[in-house]
Amino acid sequence: MNEAADQSVLALCGGVGGAKLALGLCRVLGPGQLSVVVNTGDDFEHLGLHVSPDLDTVVYTLGGVADPERGWGRAQETWEFMGALGQLGDDTWFNLGDRDLAIHVLRSKWLRKGGSLSAFTMQIAKRLGIAVRVLPMTDASVQTIVATEEGDLLFQDYFVRRRCEPAVRGIRFAGIDASKPVAEFDRVVAERLRAVVICPSNPYLSVDPILAVPGLTAALVAGAAPVVAVSPIIGGQAVKGPTTKMMKELGTNVTNGAIAAHYRGLIDGIVIDRADAADRERIDVPVLVTNTLMHTLHDRERLAWEVLAFSDTLTCRSALPAVGLPAP
Amino acid sequence: MNEAADQSVLALCGGVGGAKLALGLCRVLGPGQLSVVVNTGDDFEHLGLHVSPDLDTVVYTLGGVADPERGWGRAQETWEFMGALGQLGDDTWFNLGDRDLAIHVLRSKWLRKGGSLSAFTMQIAKRLGIAVRVLPMTDASVQTIVATEEGDLLFQDYFVRRRCEPAVRGIRFAGIDASKPVAEFDRVVAERLRAVVICPSNPYLSVDPILAVPGLTAALVAGAAPVVAVSPIIGGQAVKGPTTKMMKELGTNVTNGAIAAHYRGLIDGIVIDRADAADRERIDVPVLVTNTLMHTLHDRERLAWEVLAFSDTLTCRSALPAVGLPAP
């Protein structure tokens, strides 16, 4: 048993793509060896309920109750609530499944009583038998605002109601200055981490809010563990979601070079897909080229193993004493 | 067309039994000619949602979406939310159906924004195509407290969680002193009413809270319209619910005489079932003896017609000029 096997891993992730790799990491690591910090910039109040789309995607995925096709929400979901809502004349642009509703109702009650989002999430994860620390990026209220050609839109307005149609001019995270990482995050980074993995989520919408929480990026940079990003780009475009369109609108090339540049100063290595192997030429950190598309559970586990093994090679570099190696 | 047909009727009611007669009245009266004042002492906060059991039973019944068998909630209901709630480890003693949830979520959001229960109820009734003014007894928060041998219980704790098992010592309505009737009630009683009908609901739990709202009973007594109670007792016991058990525990005989005595000073007449015809001997207001059991829609309409016709005979009495009739 090597030393690395005893150490824990920290993953940062947003929704669907990130959750897939988080599940892979969860399955290849031992119980309690994975912590996942999740974007909450997409959280919003809907119908008086506190909805945390990325946290729920991660919790449902790790808990084995996520819908495998839809990419969000719960498996074998039903929609009677939405039907009744429409009948009573209310807004039905944001779908809430009957099973999914349970977590929103419980969370809203919890938060209204003064409980923290992190404590709620840990409790729910426990009840779903998840042996992973699932942590919101912060317990503070942060809202991702998408500045578009049509003005500012709350993330869900942009993403769900407007289906990412308005061209994006910029992104900001309202409330971020007053936020701080959750206490569990501080405890996790104080441990001897084996690796920090940035999952293949949208860098601008899903990962940047996490990195923008004051003190969070600095803690990762200061830590001894290598930081490895898994690029969300495959074959010159994002697997899912608005990443490709958004990168173009923001005047960025849709390349892994642009992703690596985006994370410059933070990452010690990047994992890209074979389809984009040529991109490695323009990346100035170590690169692992492999298959990053995760169709099956096996894909998730294989990629998790490869990312960790790649990171472990970087560990050696990070572990170099500042004074240099003794002469042979 | 007689004059009475132009006038409106006011009904007071609680849940299931009351809602049945309210539906009958709704169907035999013209659009806009019925107002129903509903008990809200059973309202409670559950899972952070404001639940109004009696209001919803009335709204669902009048809107044609009530479950015909269960006696509460919506027809063709599903229970996926409850299943997920149990999975997440929360209390499942109070059932909330997937369709039913829509009204609770919308109402909770409405009230939290400072809207009134009466405005919400009128809006929902409109959306369900209900041509009846459905009015909560008050917009204030009133809680029916059942004093039992085991101590005070909130109504739903007594009724649902404890299934009416603890013996009842008394009943009180917390918050009633600070309550007042809704503005629509004042407008309705200011009209020339044809009749006030106390529906066959539990007098202690469903009707008394309404009558206890300061000013409400006085307005009914002062009005020119006759007040007719339809007794919830058939064959010496209540059709449904805890009325029989509770009357015994409170030391009251389970007779229509006791019901009439309970409403003494308010009612001008009472409607009792043929099975209890003998009770009329001990009742000191006019009595209509008929079939009061409402199995079918036809039963509800027939009873509504009979109650109105009975009330119209009492109208004559009330309409007598205070100075007496001129000599023949």
Amino acid letter at B138?
T
Set of chain B residues whose Cβ sits within 8 Å of the Cβ of A48? 105, 108-109, 112
Residue B310, pLDDT > 80, answer: yes
Q: β-strand A143-148 against A168-174: which pairing, if any?
A: antiparallel
Residue A319 has pLDDT above 50, yes or no: no
Give the chain B residue nearest A74 (alpha carbons).
B84
Q: Is the dihedral of CA A261, A267, A271, A277 positive or negative?
A: positive
Closest to A40 (Cα-Cα) out of A124, A129, A116: A116
Q: What is the pLDDT of residue A185?
A: 97
Cross-chain residue pair B105–A48, CB shorter than 8 Å: yes
Q: What is the pLDDT of residue A243?
A: 82
Q: Tens of pLDDT along B71-113? A: 789 999 999 999 999 999 888 899 999 999 999 999 999 999 9
Q: Which two tokens stand for residue A319?
A: 């572990």
What are phi and psi for residue A173, nearest 5 degrees? Answer: -120, 95
SS3 A237: strand
- Spell out which residues of chain A touch residue B60, defining contact as CB-CB under 8 Å: none
Sole residue written with tokens 């013209």: B30
Torsion angle defined by CA atoms of residues B230, B231, B232 and B235, in that order, rounded to the nearest 10 degrees: -130
Chain B residues in contact with A74 (beta carbon < 8 A)? 84
Q: Which domains does chain A have, with CATH numbers?
A: 3-318 (3.40.50.10680)
**Amino acid type, B232:** P
Contact between A304 and A28 (Cβ < 8 Å): yes
Pairing of strands B49-51, A237-238: unpaired
Sign of CA dihedral A40, A57, A133, B49: positive
**Whole-angstrom Cα distance, residue A88 to residue B60?**
11
Residue B22 has pLDDT above 70, yes or no: yes
Q: Is the pLDDT of residue A116 over 80?
A: yes
- Choose the mutation target among A76, A80, A106 for the interface with B, i.e. most B CBs under 10 Å: A80
pLDDT, position A321: 45
Residues in A 171-210 with any Cβ partner in B closer than 8 A: none
Tokens 């023949």 belong to B328
**Between chains, do B106 and A128 touch, taking CB under 8 Å as contact?**
no
Q: Is this complex scored with an ipTM above 0.95?
A: no
Reported confidence tier of residue A316, pLDDT bands at 50, 70, 90? very low
Express each pLDDT in B276-288 by its tens digit.
999 999 999 999 9
- Please say if the pLDDT value at position A37 is more than 60: yes
What confidence tens digit (pLDDT) does each residue in A169-225 have? 999 999 999 999 999 999 999 888 999 999 999 999 999 999 999 999 999 999 999
Distance (Å, rounded) from C-alpha B122 to C-alpha B127?
9
B residues 86-105 closer than 8 Å to A (CB): 87-90, 97-103, 105
What confidence category does residue B313 fall into, taking pLDDT thresholds of 50, 70 and 90? very high
Backbone phi and psi for residue A4, each to the nearest 5 degrees, phi listed first? -55, -30
CA distance B269 to A114: 53
Residue A97 with chain B: CB contacts under 8 Å = 80
Query: In the predicted model, what is the mean pLDDT of chain A?
Result: 91
Kindly state the average pLDDT of the residues A78-86.
96
Instruction: With H, G, I as helix, E, B as strand and everything else as coil, classify residue B213.
Output: coil
**DSSP secondary structure, B21-69, as one string:** HHHHHHHHSPTT-EEEEE--TT-EEETTEEE-HHHHHHHHHHHT-B-TT
pLDDT at A4: 57
A158 pLDDT more than 70: yes
Q: Which of A86-95, A265-274, B3-12, B32-41 has the lowest mean pLDDT?
A: B3-12
Tell me the pTM.
0.89
DSSP-based three-state secondary structure for A150: coil
CA distance B90 to A8: 31
User: SS3 letters for B239-301?
Assistant: CCCCHHHHHHHCCCCCCHHHHHHHCCCCCCEEEEEHHHHHHHHHCCCCEEEECCCCCCHHHHH
